[in-house]
Amino acid sequence: MSNSKNTHQNNDPGLPRPETLSGIEIPAVMTPEMVGAKAPELPGQYPFTRGIFPNGYRGRLWTIRQYSGFGTAEETNERYKFLLNQGQTGLSVALDLPTQCGYDPIDPMARPEIGKVGVSLSNLAEAEILFDGIDLSSISTSFTINGSAPMIYAMYLAVADKRGVPRDKLTGTIQNDILKEYVARGTWIFPVRPSMRLIADTILFSNEETPRFNPISIAGAHVRDAGVTAVEEMGFTLANGIAYVDELLRRGGDINKFARRLSFFFYVHMDFFEEVCKFRAGRRIWARLLKERYGVTDEKALRFRFGVVCGGSSLQAAQPYNNIVRVGIENMAAVLGGAQSIFTCAYDEAFQIPTETSAEIALRTQQVVAYESGISKTVDPLGGSYYVEWLTDRMDEEISKVIKEIDDYGGAEKAIEEGYLQRRIAERASARKKSIDSGEQVVVGENYFRHDDEKKDFGEVFRLNPEVAKRVTEKYNAIMESRDNATVKRTLARLEQAATSDNENLLPYLVDCCHAYATVGEMVGRLKRQWGEFQEPVGL
């Protein structure tokens, strides 16, 4: 905890500055002239500024999806059943770092991290436990998984196959967005080129086999949480989207088909109107890019579908109950921006894995917004506001500039391989930290309005079972004994062979490996042998 002696004791941050967090200057009063003459636009119609559906949330509310997972598959399965009983409508699986980075629990790199930030899921046996008693044909499941996303997706299919659930009934999302891992989240495995190929394979396979599943969620959330502005978050994300589209086209995909299943994922932080307009502008820009740059004709393929998370680094460890209010405001911005699925962070998430109480409050926040606030009763209720329309146009201009910056650099892939984006994000993160440290950006309870007797530890604390690593390792060793090792060896060899060239889609091979109880570490290991590992540009 920082020493409060040299913070802003006077508790007077002055008047709020007349600009958004991205630095867009805001006029004191908006007039119709400032918006200019505009053709009337309807929701559900190109360019979708007002939403992708004509009836907004009146046909269907957003999916309430809380992120959770910790420890063993058994413990997480229990938490899922609790959340489903409480009215949650989709599952969101948090995986531990060894699983995310492709290490089995027995790997020396894995041992200190087993079950820490999510559930350990090294093979099909664990996935069977994780989804025990949960109907995969009626629930949508979202996996925050990237480097090893194709393996985890293959494992999910294997669970469904074993239970007799038809693949075309499966709904859900794998994040599967490696580009932002290289710049902000860090769970990369392979170099950029083969990673892009594997992602394209997953998307094209999923389009055929699991047509209701989202095989990618192109995410701006992590660069945002790292410190970039709302404008940059949307700009970088759409630039990554362009890189995936280009790769899918290179792999022979039909853009009118695959673009229907591209989805996106963002943070909602505290600048309310900027957040709303970020989504209105993003929806419009994506539709315009697909139509004008790629000639997409299918209306459904132009729809920009996105999920959000409210909270993240906008939440503070100081005076944590304030976070409940922040998340409530962010939740409303997400709804007014037209999100398809929303995850609200628990108020204690800034410093620990949420307790049942804090997780429940986060869920109830969404239910209050959904069923009491009334803001979802008409489509795009802010549409036509001088300010909202003006700011949407300004965000459109600024976001388009960021996309052009990446285009001019040579595209997202190049900007990431050469470390350009990484440096840009680090600089921006430093600038944001400076602005909070100096008191220029006000954070209530943190740099202003502090208590003198600040106390971080409070009430209930979630404790991870210290036996987790031991139990996970025991189960792992047991499956290594009981599985048919000859089949494992054969399926892994076939996977490795297929990876030597660009000719085949690797997904069927991965599904075979999963059925044989091959582990994530084994599958990743075989591909590493062919492709090597990403070499991080570490220049500051």
Partner 1 sequence: MSLKGKRILIAKPGLDGHDVGAKIIALALRDAGAEVIYTGLRKSPEYIAQAAIDEDVDAVGLSILSGSHKELVEEIVKCLRESEADDIPLFVGGTIPSEDYAVLKQAGVRGVFSADMKVEEVLAAIDQELA
Amino acid (1-letter code) at residue 255: I
Nearest to 145 by CA among 93, 189, 110: 93
Instruction: Examine residue 451 and tell whether it contacts partner 1 (CB under 8 A).
Output: no
Contact between 280 and 49 under an 8 Å Cβ cutoff? The reply is yes
Of residues 99 through 158, those in contact with partner 1 by CB under 8 A are 100-101, 103, 108-113, 116-117
Q: Which is nearer to partner 1, 50 or 432 (CB)?
A: 432
Site string for partner 1, 177-206 (x = CB under 8 A): ----x--xxxxx------------------
Structure tokens at 497: 């062979």
* Residue 344: how many other CB atoms lie within 10 Å: 29
In degrees and rounded to multiples of 5, residue 92 shows phi and psi of -135, 120
What CA–CA distance (Å, rounded) separates 97 from 118? 7
221 binds partner 1, rule: CB under 8 A: no
What region does 466 belong to: left with phi over 0, alpha with psi -120 to 50, or beta? Answer: alpha
Nearest distance in Å: CB 349, partner 1: 10
> Min. distance of Cβ 357 from partner 1 in angstroms?
18
Least distance from C-beta 17 to partner 1, angstroms?
20
CA angle 381-383-388, nearest 5°?
Answer: 115
Give whichever of 287 and 523 is closer to partner 1, judged by the CB atom: 523
540 near partner 1, judged by CB under 8 A: yes
How far the first Cα of the chain sits from its last, in Å, is: 27
Can you tell me which of 94, 97, 219, 511 binds partner 1, judged by CB under 8 A?
Answer: 97
- The yes or no reply on residue 377 touching partner 1 (CB under 8 A) is no
Q: How far is the CB of 437 from partner 1 (least distance, A)?
A: 4
Using the minimum distance from each CB to partner 1, give the nearer residue, 392 or 422: 422
Q: Assess contact for 387 and 30: CB atoms under 8 A.
A: yes
Q: Which long-range contacts (CB under 8 A, 24 or more apart) does 398-401 make?
A: 398/22, 398/24, 398/231, 398/235, 399/231, 399/234, 399/235, 399/238, 399/278, 399/281, 399/282, 399/285, 400/235, 400/285, 401/235
Binding partner 1 (rule: CB under 8 A), the pick from 71, 150, 227, 354 is 227
Secondary structure of residue 165 in the 3-state scheme: coil
Q: Which stretch in 1-9, 290-298, 392-400, 516-524 sits in contact with partner 1 by CB under 8 A?
A: 1-9
Least spacing, CB of residue 188 vs partner 1, in Å? 8
Min dist CB 227 to partner 1, Å, is 6
- Part of the chain binding partner 1 (CB under 8 A), chosen from 161-169, 315-323, 326-334, 384-392: 315-323
Name the minimum Å distance from CB 166 to partner 1: 36
Report cis status (omega within 30 of 0) of the bond before 32: no
> How many angstroms separate the CA atoms of 415 and 420, rounded?
5
For the window 411-440, what string marks contact with partner 1 as x by the rule CB under 8 A? --------------xxx-xx--xx--x---
Nearest distance in Å: CB 476, partner 1: 17
State the number of CA atoms in the 13 A half-sphere of 369 facing the CB: 26
Q: Do residues 49 and 282 make contact, with C-beta atoms less than 8 angstroms apart?
A: no
Kindly tell me which residue out of 23, 162, 250, 351 binds partner 1, with binding defined by CB under 8 A: 351
Q: Does 316 bind partner 1 (CB under 8 A)?
A: yes
Nearest approach in angstroms of CB 84 to partner 1 is 26
Binding site for partner 1 (CB under 8 A): 1-3, 6-7, 97-98, 100-101, 103, 108-113, 116-117, 181, 184-188, 226-227, 316-318, 351-352, 425-427, 429-430, 433-434, 437, 446, 456-457, 464, 536, 538, 540
